[in-house]
């Protein structure tokens, strides 16, 4: 159903945090019950160039979704896009603010 790996447990979240020390990692929190979330997910799926992210289905994986909010000190939203870099959330957008072009600019700024 989704083109990106899903985060479904805390062990996967811990691995993602470790990975973020080598390169920025994106987390997309998606609600299958929300039309705005579906629209934002579609933007991510059709972005050019493609953006690679880990997806959390906030309905099916509520505990890991809550853990993300706790670990990164962000208010839970869905849809929500987080950029994790060196173990910290350095960028957060939700709902209609999720724009692949802006996310790409943030990633390029980190890597320059």
Supply the DSSP string of 16-42, one letter for each residue.
HHHHTTTS-EEEEEE-TT-HHHHHHHH
CATH topology of domain 10-111: Glutaredoxin (3.40.30)
pLDDT of residue 79: 97
Q: State how far the alpha carbon of 26 is from the alpha carbons of 21, 52, 61, in Å.
A: 13, 7, 17
Q: Which residues partner with 83 through β-bridges?
A: 26, 91
pLDDT of residue 4: 73
pLDDT of residue 3: 54
pLDDT of residue 1: 41
| Nearest C-alpha neighbor of 28 from the set 111, 98, 104, 75 | 98
Q: What are phi and psi of 5, to 5 degrees?
A: -60, 145
The structural domains of the chain, with segments of one domain joined by +, span: 10-111
Counting as low any pLDDT under 70, the low residues of the chain are: 1-3
- Is 0.85 surpassed by the pTM of this model? yes
């Amino acid at each position: 159903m989704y083109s990106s790996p899903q985060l479904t447990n805390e062990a996967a979240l811990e691995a993602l945090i470790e990975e973020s020390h080598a390169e920025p990692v994106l987390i997309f929190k998606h609600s299958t019950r929300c039309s705005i979330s579906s629209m934002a997910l579609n933007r991510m799926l059709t972005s050019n160039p493609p953006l690679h992210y880990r997806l959390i289905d906030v309905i099916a994986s509520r505990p890991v979704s809550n853990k993300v909010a706790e670990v990164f000190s962000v208010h839970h939203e869905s849809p929500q896009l987080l950029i994790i870099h060196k173990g910290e959330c350095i960028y957060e957008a939700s709902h209609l603010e999720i724009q692949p072009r802006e996310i790409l600019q943030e990633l390029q700024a980190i890597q320059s």
